[in-house]
């Protein structure tokens, strides 16, 4: 199995697309394929293979599945012995491969119903139940209520007793918060939000992001699930580590300030630390690879394709200016800036010349100025012409 295939098989949204899809998931992957045309054929081939495995799995009874698992295990053992690998490494690889195959043949049910990570299971269940009809920022409370936040820059404040204050002017009282019930905050493109969790941790969510979290942190750890980009100011609690889960890495802290960008369409997950320290656990790391610890003013860039992580010294304020409606860029690809603009304004910008994507530019944008002024500024720094096709679509000439 190639690293490319493994990256998608370990992605819960990819599995839900195959085994438990809904209109929101279908829309997400349609958009992903449009944004990544070079990956489309490989992704669709992988999808077809997994659908076939799912069909075969549905036809097997429990005894036949056990027999199949036994044959898979014996085959893997034989192949690895022939390769004369180290005995310890053989054992690790054998069980890792069997586990991965069970995820595939069992489908999303196996992924969601494993008993090793109950909270993560429930987080994924909520992700695949996103209502597709709502176009504005949406809060799905732990008791199942769908609340339209209305404002493009919304605020959601939780109190220790379960009360939720929305946009500083309305109050929701959670009265039937079931054990491990989770809230789900969905911030579409063109919107941003700030949420204060029950432990006083503050989270700023950027456009196109989602956060899943409990009303109250009742377990030994404070766990949340993030898709997209967020800046965290984590309240200190030495007895309850704060863990941000993503599709590829988990970030563990006690009390700190950091930014993480983990959009599904981006090839790199970036973690920037402003204060304190964080530990990064790579889900695809080998048994003998330890977690990565970064210090203030460091950027950890995890490459999803290669599973490599690079550490650089940076100015963290540069990466969190988006919380103030600003974008600062210093000698970076035009395409990366364009993606940020698309998310902020909920628009589509295409390149007539693909080589323009890698043009390096520098500058600073005040997104509060308005879309027209931003486009005019980008035209100057990129020496390009932004042609408006319709209300929400542009082409870079």
Same domain, 60 and 165: no
The pLDDT of residue 259 is above 80: yes
Please give the torsion angle defined by the CA atoms of residues 116, 225, 30 and 341, in that order, rounded to the nearest 10 degrees. -160
Same domain, 210 and 172: yes
pLDDT band at 86 (very low <50, low <70, confident <90, very high): very low
How much is the pLDDT for 12? 61
Q: What does the alpha-carbon distance between residue 274 and residue 297 come to, in Å, rounded to a whole number? A: 6
Residue 244 belongs to domain spanning: 134-317
Q: Evaluate whether residue 127 is within a structural domain.
A: no
CATH number of domain containing 365: 3.55.50.30
Same domain, 310 and 345: no
Residue 144 DSSP SS3: coil
Q: Evaluate whether residue 347 is within a structural domain.
A: yes
Considering only the C-alpha atoms of the chain, give the largest distance between any 2 of them, rounded to a whole number of Å.
Answer: 68
Which of 284, 317, 350 lies at the terminal end of a domain, its last residue? 317
Same domain, 270 and 165: yes
How much is the pLDDT for 201? 95
The pLDDT of residue 158 is above 70: yes
pLDDT band at 20 (very low <50, low <70, confident <90, very high): low
- Contact assessment for residue 224 and residue 234, using Cβ atoms and an 8 Å cutoff: no
Q: Evaluate whether residue 124 is within a structural domain.
A: no
Same domain, 155 and 225: yes
Q: Evaluate whether residue 289 is within a structural domain.
A: yes
Work out whether strand 138-140 and strand 146-148 pair parallel, antiparallel, or are unpaired.
antiparallel
Looking at every residue in the chain, the average pLDDT score rounds to 76
Q: Where are the beta strands (DSSP E) in 207-347?
A: 209-214, 222-233, 242-245, 249-253, 257-262, 268-275, 278-282, 292-294, 298-303, 309-313, 326-333
User: pLDDT digits over 343-364, tens only?
Assistant: 888 888 999 888 888 889 888 8
Work out whether strand 153-158 and strand 192-196 pair parallel, antiparallel, or are unpaired.
parallel
Domain count, the chain: 3
How many angstroms separate the first and last alpha carbons of the chain? 40
Same domain, 143 and 229: yes
How much is the pLDDT for 180? 60
User: pLDDT digits over 28-71, tens only?
Assistant: 787 788 878 888 888 888 887 776 655 444 444 545 444 544 54
Same domain, 300 and 336: no
How much is the pLDDT for 53? 57
More confident residue, 125 or 211: 211
How much is the pLDDT for 115? 39
How much is the pLDDT for 346? 85
Q: Evaluate whether residue 86 is within a structural domain.
A: yes
Which of 260, 291, 317 lies at the terminal end of a domain, its last residue? 317
Q: Evaluate whether residue 128 is within a structural domain.
A: no
CATH number of domain containing 171: 2.60.120.1440
Same domain, 307 and 329: no
Q: Evaluate whether residue 129 is within a structural domain.
A: no
Same domain, 15 and 97: yes
What residues are paired with 185 via a beta bridge?
139, 211
Q: What does the alpha-carbon distance between residue 4 and residue 39 come to, in Å, rounded to a whole number? A: 9
The pLDDT of residue 336 is above 70: yes
pLDDT band at 173 (very low <50, low <70, confident <90, very high): confident
Q: Evaluate whether residue 198 is within a structural domain.
A: yes
Same domain, 51 and 30: yes
Which of 282, 317, 352 lies at the terminal end of a domain, its last residue? 317
Same domain, 157 and 253: yes
Same domain, 301 and 159: yes
* Residue range 308-326: mean pLDDT, rounded: 91
């Amino acid at each position: 199995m190639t690293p490319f295939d493994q990256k998608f098989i370990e992605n819960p949204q990819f599995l839900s697309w195959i085994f438990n899809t809904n209109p929101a998931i279908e829309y997400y992957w349609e958009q992903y394929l449009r944004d990544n045309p070079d990956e489309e054929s490989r992704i669709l081939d992988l999808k077809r293979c997994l659908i076939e495995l799912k069909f075969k799995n549905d036809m097997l009874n429990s005894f036949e599945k056990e027999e199949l698992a036994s044959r898979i295990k014996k085959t893997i053992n034989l192949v690895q012995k022939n390769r004369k690998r180290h005995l310890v490494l053989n054992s690790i690889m054998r069980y890792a491969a069997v586990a991965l195959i069970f995820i595939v043949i069992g489908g999303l049910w196996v992924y969601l119903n494993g008993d090793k990570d109950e909270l993560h299971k429930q987080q994924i269940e909520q992700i695949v139940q996103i209502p597709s009809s709502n176009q504005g920022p949406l809060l799905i409370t732990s008791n199942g209520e769908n609340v339209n936040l209305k404002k493009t820059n919304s605020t959601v404040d939780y109190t220790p007793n379960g009360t939720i204050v929305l946009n500083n002017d309305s109050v929701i009282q959670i009265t039937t918060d079931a054990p491990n019930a989770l809230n789900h905050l969905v911030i579409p493109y063109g919107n941003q939000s700030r949420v204060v969790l029950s432990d006083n941790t503050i989270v700023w969510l950027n456009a196109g992001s989602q956060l899943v979290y409990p009303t109250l942190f009742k377990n030994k750890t404070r766990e949340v699930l993030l898709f997209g980009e967020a800046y965290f100011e984590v309240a200190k609690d030495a007895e309850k580590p704060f863990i941000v889960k993503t599709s590829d890495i988990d970030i563990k802290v006690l009390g700190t300030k950091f930014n993480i960008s983990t959009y599904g369409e981006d090839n790199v997950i970036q973690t920037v630390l402003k204060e304190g320290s964080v530990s990064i656990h790579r889900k695809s790391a080998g048994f003998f690879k330890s977690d990565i610890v970064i210090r203030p003013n460091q950027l950890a860039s995890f490459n999803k394709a290669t599973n490599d992580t690079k550490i650089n010294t940076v100015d963290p304020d540069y990466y969190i200016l988006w919380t103030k409606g600003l974008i600062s860029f210093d000698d970076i690809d035009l395409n990366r800036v364009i993606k940020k603009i698309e998310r902020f304004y909920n628009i589509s910008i295409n390149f007539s010349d693909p080589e323009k994507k890698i043009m390096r530019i520098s500058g600073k944008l005040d997104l509060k100025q308005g879309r027209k002024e931003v486009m005019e500024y980008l035209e100057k720094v990129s020496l390009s012409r932004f042609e408006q096709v319709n209300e929400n679509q542009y082409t870079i000439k």
